[in-house]
Structure 1
């Protein structure tokens, strides 16, 4: 099996999800005596949270690029960035290493295309929902995206940063996301993309009125495919 590298700690909640899913899927494929060859660079998210201005994003790119170099130096043959929002600096990170960096939006787009899904609503942090760098990656795979509703953007962003990234799961947040998804369904789109690695804490991805494309699970499964060289 090939070793995978994970840039985590943004937040630790999703890092735990990645670690658990990658290892459990490797065990399903190879047996319970196996675990994933994996190295994790868990960053201090305090210096990265709610990055906004140009200088802060430059610093974020440097922090993640250095982490990627350390992972490559530890023998990782491919790297994941365990946060949708931090894929804003994907290009800088990918240029810093000689091994592949698996883009989260690309693996989602590939899966949606394979499933024949051509329209969706994207929900996640503010920068994921409204900035072009993430949306365009999905569009390039033939997926048209519902324009962001700013009222939903503000509330989802608040829930993610103030609750989910701290490991806090509230019933009110679950009800809010259920209402949002119900309203999105009325627009006629065919799927929801969870563009945040913590949203599966409050969205039932297996029992919903629309198909849910969970970025964390899809990204982790792409890592498993790489590890198993499938």
Structure 2
């Protein structure tokens, strides 16, 4: 079994889900008392969040690169950045080490292609919804068209992530408005909805909507399990 490296803490609530999902996946496949071999470096999200909103992505890349180096020194065979937004600096972080990065958009794109989808809606932080680092990777590598909400809806989705979900707050009213946004994306032709922030799965579940949801935390964790068991 390969050792999985996790860069977490962005936020710790979703990182805890990664840990649980990966270990559940290993147990399901190997049975008995098996659990995942992994190492975790958890950063201070308050520092990362401030730098994000300052536009200081270079500094965030340095912080995550140092975390990746620590994972490599600890014996990780590959690593994950346990957040969608920080994949904006994925190439810089990957270039800082010799072990490979399991990219969250690639894991998601592979799942979408296996389900024969070519147009999806995307919910996430404004950085993920507005900038090209995530959408372009899905389009270039998987020929998937990505729809995003209106600017007003993006503001709401973003604020709920940072002001509620990252603080462990799950509000019914926010869920209702998220579901309205999901329905709008579906009416615009989205065949499925990417929950493109690792916290959104805390708010929206499959039972809440008829739209097909793609929870990137679950998809990324499952991909990590499969990679760890490759020989």
Q: Which residue of 1 aligns with 2:184?
A: 183
User: CA 1:95/1:206 → structure 2, altered by over 3 Å: closer, same or farther?
Assistant: farther
Aligned partner of 2:218 in structure 1 is 217
Match of 2:154 in 1: 153
Q: Distance in 2 between matches of 1:201 and 1:70?
A: 29
Partner of 2:33: 33
Aligned partner of 1:226 in structure 2 is 227
Q: Distance in 2 between matches of 1:205 and 1:18?
A: 18
Contact 1:185 1:209 in 2 (8 A): no
2:148 touches 2:185 (CA, 8 Å); kept in 1?
no
Aligned to 1:9: 9
For residue 89 of structure 1, give the secondary structure of its aligned residue in structure 2. helix
Equivalent positions of 1:76-155 (< 5 A) are 76-140=76-140, 141-155=142-156
Alignment coverage as a number of residue pairs: 229
Q: Greater shift after overlay, 141-150 or 31-40? A: 141-150
Aligned residues: CA RMSD? 1.2
Displacement of 1:208 after TM fit? Answer: 2.4
**Contact residue 130 and residue 148 of structure 1 kept, 8 A:** no
Aligned-residue offset at 1:227: 1.1
What SS class does the counterpart of residue 156 from structure 2 fall into? helix
Gaps of 5+ in 1: none
TM-score relative to the length of structure 2? 0.96
**Pairwise CA distance, 1:184:** 1.6
Cα distance in 2 for partners of 1:207, 1:218 equals: 19
Deviations 1:38-61 (A, max 9, x none): 10101111110150345x211100
Q: After TM superposition, where is structure 1 displaced by more than 6 Å over at least 4 residues in a row? A: none
SS at match of 1:79: strand
Can you give the 5+ residue segments of structure 2 that lack an aligned partner in the other structure? none
Q: Select between 146-155 and 62-71 the one with higher mean Cα deviation.
A: 146-155
Offset, 1:147:
4.4
